[in-house]
Amino acid sequence: MIACNTATALALDEIKAAASVAVIGVVEPGAEAAAAATRTRKVVVIGTEATISSHAYQRALEAKRVAVREKACPLFVPLVEEGWVEHPVTEQVGRIYLSEAFSDDSRDADVLVLGCTHYPLIKPLLRRLAPEHVTIVDSAESTAEEVARQLEGQVRIASLPSSAHGELRTVAALKFFATDSAEKFRKMGTRFLGLPVEDVVHVDLKE
């Protein structure tokens, strides 16, 4: 799974070609969930400048006969990474962004797509700021559900002999690799995942 809308929008095909396993991006599951949720067939998508400029969501949603208003919200990511998820500055910025996004012919849009995996951390704030009739679709959540569907049935404990159930032990070891600051990843990873992030290795990627 590519847990980033920008990477999905800009490099999904290249990553699929280079990978030896199935690759799921976040755009298509998010667009699918938005198309299923909208009744007016009008959707607002917010994301980073790169994601919005790629028009990946626009193409995906228009293919499903849904009209799209795209709105870049470049200040959200640094605010989230600063930990200002309920800060007055973040609320004011969000108020400005959403008032622009739901203006003019998008006033009757009834779905807001969070087109960045940072945005779920400010979902409660966005829920307060978005029009009451709007359903919020979290592309990260939609993608996790799609991954779960594809993995379902590949490992079935129930298929083991009953005598083996008592002996089965699941040991999960998590190791993280970061191309930016490992310390920053530990801090942010704990916030995103809701569990301790300890084993982080910094890696340099060649151009």
For residues 183-196, one letter each, b for 16 or more C-beta atoms within 10 angstroms of the residue's C-beta and e for the rest, the string is eebbebbeebeeee
Closest CA relative to residue 57, chosen from 8, 108, 1, 123? 8
Catalytic residue, candidates 2, 4, 80, 112: 4
Name the residue ranges covered by the structural domains of the chain: 5-147, 171-202
116 is catalytic: yes
Catalytic residue, candidates 46, 109, 114, 116: 116
Residue 22's pLDDT is what?
Answer: 76
CATH 3.40.50.150 matches 5-147: no
Total residues belonging to the chain:
207
Crossing angle, helix 5-18 and helix 27-37, to 10 degrees? 130
Gyration radius of the chain's alpha carbons: 19
Residue 165's pLDDT is what?
Answer: 46
Residue 160's pLDDT is what?
Answer: 47
DSSP state of 104: G
Closest CA relative to residue 127, chosen from 95, 81, 100, 103? 95
Reduced to 3 states (helix: H, G, I; strand: E, B; else coil), residue 2 is coil
**31, pLDDT greater than 70:** yes
Amino acid occupying residue 33 = A
pLDDT digits (tens, 9 = 90+) for 140-181: 888 788 778 777 755 554 444 555 445 444 545 677 888 778
